[in-house]
Amino acid sequence: MTAGDQTDTLAFLTRLLAREGPVERIDTHISAVLMAGHRVLKLKRAVRFPFLDFSTPERRLAACEAELAVNRRTAPGLYRGVHRIARGPDAGLVLDGEGPLVDAVVEMRRFPQDDLFDKMAGDGRLTPALVADLAHRLAAFHARAPASLGRGGAAAVADLIALNDRSLRACGLVPDAEAAALAAAFRAGLSRHGGRLDARGAAGKIRRCHGDLTLRNICLFEGVPTPFDALEFDEALATTDVLYDLAFVLMDLWHRGRADLANLLFNRYLDETDEAADAGLMPFLMAIRAVIRAHVAASARQAGEGRAYLALARSLLADASATLLAVGGLSGSGKSTLAAAVAPWVGAPPGARVVSSDRVRKRLHGVPPLTRLPPDAYRSAASEAVYAALREEAARVLVGGASAVVDAVFDRQAEREAVAALAAACGVPFRGVWLDGPVTTLGGRIAARRNDPSDATLDVLAAQAARDCGTVTWRRLDARLPTGTLRAAVLAGTGGTGAAGPAADPASLPGP
């Protein structure tokens, strides 16, 4: 790394902002951010790393202009403009002067630092509703981002692995032999996933993404989850697989012990995209992201944090077998709550894909999850189509190497047998769980529902209770037990790993 002296520039910007009020400063390995009043000025540091070069004023100006352009895609209200810092006639510095270029800054609108998602995750203010909203916005952002055919795929990931290796060695976080062993593990993973990565590139999954989607680069701005500070200094690095873009924030949530929110983000994103078949790529892609955070932390003299990210990367590269878990029971028995509770701990991070019959039914009818459907949508033929679609998606997930949790009433023996046969056909273990409870208890839950994808009514429950469900051979659990107790019982039966990170408080489990 090389660095230039920007002492005069920082002093000039501090004097300029002091007119707005007390000046606060945040330093990162590549930027100095100065804030006062409602105004923020972000200065690129005069540094050179293996992955970026801000060593000249011209390069920094170009990076500022690129930052403005890429961030107005997701945060137009935050980014105000770019300013040249020039040498004035009296040899002093001036903003937007015509003299020789000295530096450049991006001007932004200030927001409370407590509204950064990393701070919100740390103090428990990052709610399931905000994470679900973020998933919706990321899916829409990726959908409208321009595709880049002919780029990406296995070759691009090989370049990322090599870049990570160089950066890890340069920062000195681990001995070269350890870095070499980690790079070899990544190359082995690439040999397994390379064909699928190439296929995704050919299918238009390589797009101009955010590129640096960590929790600290997402804020709550005007009540909306807002990604900002996108990667601007390398178009090749930012033009990448959409799942690799998503992997950064999933990895960050997992690292911070919020496996529940990582799994929720993952599932709500898959609800709105056609990415379920490649869910098995996520541990590998998250591992690459973890190494990036490791060498960035080390470069910022945070060696302990860097080593924690490396430990996560190694665990993400470990083999984890796929499994299929089915959760059945009458309406109101808590199937969806239990499915969401166990999913983070089934299979490899970020946990299992939850395939819910309620959400599948709404998708087949082309409506959002909370839109109520007419009675015709629940006739026998329509329900058969829902169960078939549920099994089809679960099969795509399982064949791709990820685990699945399917959530439906399963009150017909044929449907229970069909989902068990699916697991056998995919060559994965199967477990079925049936939630039992008094009809009065289930009815009370249905009556209390608000903002729920299920359209079940008390009449629907009565019809289910009157039907002969056949012989239920799945493991029966009392639906009245606390969610945490049920989760522990299910995971003990499925061999759930309890992957790195503490279990979520059942009270925080995701809703619709």
In whole angstroms, what is the distance from residue 365 CA to residue 382 CA? 10
- Whole-angstrom distance, CA of residue 26 vs CA of residue 34: 7
Phi, psi for residue 101 in degrees, rounded to 5: -70, 130
**Residue 480 contacts residue 441 (beta carbons within 8 Å):** yes
Cα–Cα distance, 362 to 345 (Å, whole number): 26
pLDDT given at position 495: 57
Give the single-character DSSP code of 459.
Answer: H
Picking from 329, 249, 285, 288, the residue whose alpha carbon sits closest to that of residue 490 is 329
As beta bridge partners, residue 328 has 434
Specify the pLDDT at position 496: 58
Q: How many CB atoms lie within 10 A of CB 74?
A: 22
**CA–CA separation, 149 and 76 (whole Å):** 27
Contact 218, 200 (CB under 8 A): no
Give CB contacts under 8 A, 24+ apart, made by 32-38.
32/6, 34/10, 35/110, 37/110, 38/109, 38/110
C-alpha 278: how far from its chain's center?
Answer: 14
Instruction: Give the pLDDT means over successive 10-residue stretches in the chain (512 positions).
Output: 77 95 92 95 92 92 95 96 94 92 96 96 96 98 91 90 93 92 96 96 95 96 96 88 97 96 98 96 98 90 92 93 96 95 96 96 93 90 94 97 97 96 97 96 93 90 90 96 96 61 37 36
> Which of 165, 170, 169 shows the shortest CA–CA distance to 48?
170
- Neighbour tally for 467: CB within 10 Å: 12
Tell me the two tokens of residue 163: 């870049």
pLDDT tens digit string along 9-31?
999 999 999 999 999 999 988 89
Q: Which parts of 291-333 are beta strand (E)?
A: 324-329
**pLDDT at residue 504 in the model:** 39
Radius of gyration of the chain (CA): 25
- Does domain 324-508 sit in CATH 3.20.20.70? no
Strand pairing partners for 106? 42, 82
d(CA 446, CA 333): 9
CATH topology for 117-317 is Aminoglycoside 3'-phosphotransferase; Chain: A, domain 2 (3.90.1200)
Both tokens of 318, joined, read 């470990």
CB 258 within 8 A of CB 300: no
Q: How far apart are CA 405 and CA 335, in angstroms?
A: 11
148 φ/ψ angles, rounded to the nearest 5 degrees: -130, 85
508 contact partners, CB below 8 Å, separation of at least 6: 127, 128, 260
CA dist list (Å): 192 to 162, 179, 195: 17, 20, 8
Please work out, in degrees rounded to the nearest 5, the angle formed at the alpha carbon of residue 378 by the alpha carbons of 373 and 381. Answer: 135
> What's the distance, Cα to Cα, between the start and end of the chain in Å?
47
CA dihedral 434, 439, 445, 448 (to 10 degrees): 160
Could you give the CA distance from residue 104 to residue 86 in angstroms, rounded to a whole number? Answer: 8
In the chain, where the domains are located? 2-110, 117-317, 324-508
In this structure, are residues 12 and 85 in contact, taking their beta carbons and an 8 Å threshold?
yes
Q: Which amino acid is at 13?
A: L
Residue 212 C-alpha from the chain's centroid: 12
CA distance linking residue 492 with residue 498, whole number of Å? 10
Angle at 235 between CA 234 and CA 239, to 5 degrees: 125
Q: String of b and e for 210-245 (b: at least 16 CB within 10 Å)?
A: bbbbbbbbbbbbeeebbbbbbbbbeeebbbbbbbbb
pLDDT for the residue numbered 3: 57
Provide the pairing of β-strand 430-436 with 475-478: parallel
> Which of 67, 62, 54 has its CA nearest to residue 4?
54
- pLDDT tens digit sequence for 449-466: 988 999 898 999 999 999
Minimal CA–CA distance to 194: which of 247, 240, 159, 153?
153
Answer yes or no: are the C-beta atoms of 512 and 453 closer than 8 Å: yes
8 Å CB contact between 19 and 61: no
Under CATH, which architecture does the 2-110 domain have?
2-Layer Sandwich (3.30)
Whole-prediction pTM: 0.90
- Rounded CA separation 251/60 (Å): 29
Task: Name the average pLDDT for the chain.
Answer: 92
